[in-house]
C-alpha cells in the first residue's frame, strides 16, 4: 500500500520538471533543432560584434585603392572575402559593421519595450481617460508605416552631423524607430493587464490594502510581460532589417561609419561588374541573422504558450 502511494524517482522528476512554466518552456526549446541552430548563429554574430579582433586584425579603414575589388582569397589569404570598390577588406568591414546594427536594435527594442510596457500597464489597469489617451496614440502611430515615417523624418535631418562615434551614428535612426516602434508592446501588455488584474490573488492583494504600484509591479506585470517576450527576437530582426534599408537609402548609419546596410548599398553597384562578393557577404550575414531571430521568436512563442504544451 505504501509502495503504491509513494511516487517513483521518475515520477518525482517529471512532476518537478512540470512545476515551473519557465522550466517547461526551456525543456521544449532545447528539444528543437531549429532553435539550437538559430541560437548558434546569434551567438556567433554576437561574439563578432563584441570581439571583432577575434575574427580579423585588419582595420576596415585601411583601404589601399590599388587593391580594389580583389576577389576572395579564402581563409589564410590576406583578404579572405576579397576587397570592395575602395580597397577595404570585406571581412574587416563585415565584422565591424555588425556592431552599429546590433547596438541600434538593442537600444530601439529596449526603449520601445520600456515605453510600451509602461503605457500598456497603466492603460489596462486604470482604464478611463488613461486608456483613452494611450489607445488613441497607439491608433495614430499604427496607421503610419514605419519605413515611410523613418524616411520622411530622417530626410529632414539628413544634413545633421552628430559625430562619428558608434552611439552618435545610430542616435537619429534610434529616435525615429523608437517613436514608431512601441505600439505593439503597449497593445499586448494592455490586453494581458485587463485579464490579470481581475485574478483572485490580485483581488486579494487589493483587499489587503496593497498600493496600485505594488499590485502592478508584483502581481500584474509578471503575468503581462510574458506575452511580449516572444516579440523581442522578431522585433530585433525588424530593427536590423529597417537599419539596413535606411542605410541603403543613405539616411541611416552614414559613412565613415560602416554597417551591413552600407555594404549592401555599395556592393549593389558591382553585382554585374565582376565583384558580386562585395554584395553577397553582407547580404548573407543579414539574411542569416534575421532568419535566426525569426526562428527563435517563433520558438519562444510556441514554448511560452501553455496551449501548445507537450
**127, 163 contact by CB (below 8 A):** no
Question: Is residue 48 classed as helix, strand or coil in its secondary structure?
Answer: helix
pLDDT, average across residues 284-296:
93
**pLDDT confidence of residue 119:** 94
| Per-residue cell: 57 | 586584425
Strands (E), 55-151: none
**pLDDT confidence of residue 306:** 55
Binned at pLDDT 50, 70 and 90, residue 17 comes out as very low
pLDDT, average across residues 185-189:
92
More confident residue, 171 or 1: 171
Q: Percent helix, strand and coil across the chain, each rounded to 5?
A: 70, 0, 25
Q: Which of 206, 236, 209, 219 is nearest to 297 (CA)?
A: 236
Q: Where are the domains of the chain?
A: 25-308
Query: How many Cα atoms sit within 13 Å of 263 on the Cβ side?
Result: 32
Q: Which of 80, 33, 64, 107 is nearest to 295 (CA)?
A: 33
Residues found in the chain: 310
For the cut 80, the answer to whether the pLDDT of residue 187 exceeds it is yes
Q: Which of 281, 252, 251 is nearest to 264 (CA)?
A: 281
**pLDDT confidence of residue 305:** 64
**304, 229 contact by CB (below 8 A):** yes
For the cut 50, the answer to whether the pLDDT of residue 2 exceeds it is no
* Cα separations in angstroms, 298 against 27, 35, 108, 301: 15, 9, 20, 5
**pLDDT confidence of residue 8:** 52
pLDDT, average across residues 215-242:
85
Over the stretch 95-106, which tens digit does the pLDDT of each residue have?
Answer: 998 988 889 899
Binned at pLDDT 50, 70 and 90, residue 12 comes out as very low
Rg from Cα positions in the chain: 24
**35, 29 contact by CB (below 8 A):** yes
For all residues of the chain together, what is the average pLDDT? 83
Distance of CA 153 to the CA centre of its chain: 22
Question: Is residue 182 classed as helix, strand or coil in its secondary structure?
Answer: coil
Q: Which of 9, 38, 31, 23 is nearest to 298 (CA)?
A: 38
Contacts of 287 by beta carbon, 8 Å cutoff, 6+ apart: none
**63, 92 contact by CB (below 8 A):** no
The Cα 84–Cα 255 span in angstroms is: 14
CATH number of 25-308: 1.10.3720.10
For the cut 60, the answer to whether the pLDDT of residue 131 exceeds it is yes
Over the stretch 243-274, which tens digit does the pLDDT of each residue have?
Answer: 888 888 877 777 777 888 888 888 888 887 77
The Cα 53–Cα 258 span in angstroms is: 16
**104, 243 contact by CB (below 8 A):** yes
Contacts of 52 by beta carbon, 8 Å cutoff, 6+ apart: 95, 96, 99
pLDDT, average across residues 148-165:
76
Binned at pLDDT 50, 70 and 90, residue 42 comes out as very high
**77, 93 contact by CB (below 8 A):** no
Contacts of 1 by beta carbon, 8 Å cutoff, 6+ apart: none
For the cut 60, the answer to whether the pLDDT of residue 240 exceeds it is yes
pTM (two decimals):
0.83
Amino acid at each position: 500500500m505504501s509502495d503504491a502511494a509513494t511516487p517513483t524517482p521518475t515520477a518525482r522528476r517529471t512532476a518537478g520538471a512540470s512545476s515551473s512554466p519557465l522550466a517547461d518552456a526551456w525543456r521544449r526549446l532545447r528539444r528543437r533543432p531549429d532553435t539550437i541552430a538559430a541560437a548558434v548563429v546569434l551567438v556567433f554574430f554576437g561574439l563578432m560584434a563584441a570581439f571583432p579582433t577575434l575574427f580579423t586584425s585588419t582595420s576596415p579603414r585601411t583601404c589601399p585603392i590599388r587593391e580594389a575589388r580583389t576577389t576572395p582569397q579564402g581563409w589564410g589569404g590576406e583578404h579572405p572575402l576579397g576587397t570592395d570598390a575602395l580597397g577595404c577588406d570585406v571581412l574587416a568591414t563585415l565584422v565591424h559593421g555588425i556592431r552599429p546594427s546590433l547596438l541600434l536594435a538593442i537600444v530601439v527594442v529596449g526603449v520601445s519595450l520600456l515605453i510600451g510596457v509602461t503605457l500598456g500597464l497603466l492603460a489596462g489597469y486604470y482604464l478611463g481617460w488613461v486608456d483613452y489617451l494611450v489607445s488613441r496614440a497607439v491608433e495614430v502611430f499604427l496607421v503610419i508605416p514605419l519605413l515611410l515615417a523613418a524616411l520622411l523624418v530622417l530626410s529632414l535631418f539628413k544634413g545633421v552631423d552628430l559625430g562619428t562615434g558608434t552611439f552618435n551614428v545610430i542616435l537619429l535612426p534610434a529616435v525615429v524607430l523608437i517613436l514608431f516602434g512601441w505600439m505593439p508592446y503597449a497593445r499586448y501588455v494592455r490586453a494581458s493587464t485587463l485579464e490579470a488584474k481581475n485574478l483572485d490573488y490580485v483581488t486579494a492583494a487589493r483587499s489587503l490594502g496593497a498600493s496600485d504600484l505594488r499590485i502592478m509591479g508584483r502581481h500584474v506585470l509578471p503575468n503581462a510581460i510574458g506575452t511580449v517576450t516572444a516579440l523581442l527576437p522578431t522585433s530585433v530582426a525588424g530593427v536590423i532589417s529597417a537599419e539596413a534599408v535606411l542605410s541603403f537609402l543613405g539616411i541611416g548609419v552614414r559613412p565613415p561609419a560602416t554597417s551591413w546596410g552600407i555594404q549592401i548599398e555599395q556592393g549593389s553597384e558591382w553585382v554585374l561588374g565582376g565583384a558580386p562578393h562585395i554584395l553577397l557577404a553582407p547580404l548573407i550575414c543579414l539574411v542569416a541573422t534575421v532568419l535566426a531571430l525569426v526562428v527563435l521568436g517563433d520558438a519562444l512563442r510556441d514554448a511560452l504558450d501553455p496551449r501548445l504544451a507537450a
